Amino acid sequence: IFYFLSIINKINGLKFDLHYSLLFLISPFFISSILSLEPISIVWTVIYASNCILIYDLIKNNFKSTIQSFRIFSFILVILLFLQLFIYGVDFISGRYVGNFRPVDFASVSLIACFLGIFSSKKNYELIFYIFSFFILTISVISRASIFTGILFLLIYFFLYMYYQNKFEMIYRLIIAFIVIFIPFYIIFFEQINPSIELLFTFLDLTDSERGFGSGFTGRLDKYLLSFEVFKQRPLFGMGYGLYDESHSGILQLLIELGLYGFFVFIIFLLNIFYGYHLYLKQVFSKKVIASISFIITFQFLAIFERQLINFGHIAGLIILFNLLFAIIVVDKYNLKIDE
């Protein structure tokens, strides 16, 4: 809304670029919504498409100022999260709430804030600050999906960082060194290490079938099975965007609302930007591009357990949308100096 109001004065010269990749990405939303014959679905689709167009235009024409705002915003948000944690603590008796934050929301916002900090950081000490902040905030509420997502993001980020810096041989040596040291160490000290692993499993409730909704690995199995039955009712084009929010999985929500057509469009879109990112990084090394591709890959893992993949009403859904649209611009301009 603020962005729209800021361009009112330029309305006469206003012209949005509708890149073919952008149109390709949002096409399943319109097709599924129109075929659903549900007005509310069409409204949600128009809002989602409007977000896509405005964010794409914002990134393309105001990239430097956008990144600068991310740098400030992420720092303020992390400080506010720490204040929330310090003031209210974690209510382990009533569901690990932090004040009025559900644990999954507190961890998701922490994950996004720290990603934005890493993405927009200029100094190594900023990077270290956001990494430590992420682990403190997510571990405090024992959010398993966010913790594993953050670890996966960092592993992919540092792997790609070293790979595109032509330090792959160093990665190979580190892996070999880890295997050579860890396996004998684990065998020798198995009796001392194993209780610690069991304690970690207990802390994360990985074997607790009662956590969540009361069935399966994370209490989500019943929801997944029910969602699959809903998907089978309209498998090709889905039931319409914005009409189902009970899946507890972004991937399943995508399948249910946009159908197989929307799912394969999304997969093709991802493969296209991954290939484009690879070509870009072969020519221009960029920490921001590496952070973006790491987040996109990692978020697909989180989308298995959480439903923010195409939910623009959640900060995580908006940030994955930002990364996808950022990727379109980078892939389209191989000579773009992102880190300058």
Render pLDDT for 10-20 as a digit per residue (tens, 0 to 9). 554 555 567 78
Per DSSP, the chain holds a count of helices (H) and strands (E) of: 13, 0
The answer to whether residue 201 scores a pLDDT higher than 70 is no
pLDDT of residue 263: 93
Distance between CA atoms of residues 304 and 106, nearest Å: 18
Distance between CA atoms of residues 181 and 37, nearest Å: 61
Q: 239, 260 in Cβ contact below 8 A?
A: no
Q: What pairs with residue 98 in β-bridges?
A: 101
Specify the DSSP class assigned to residue 10.
G
pLDDT of residue 215: 41
Q: pLDDT higher for 232 or 174?
A: 232
The answer to whether residue 192 scores a pLDDT higher than 80 is no
pLDDT of residue 234: 87
Distance between CA atoms of residues 218 and 226, nearest Å: 15
What is the full DSSP assignment across 131-189?
HHHHHHHHHHTT-HHHHHHHHHHHHHHHHHHHHTTT-HHHHHHHHHHHHHHHHHHHHHT
Render pLDDT for 228-243 as a digit per residue (tens, 0 to 9). 888 888 889 988 888 8
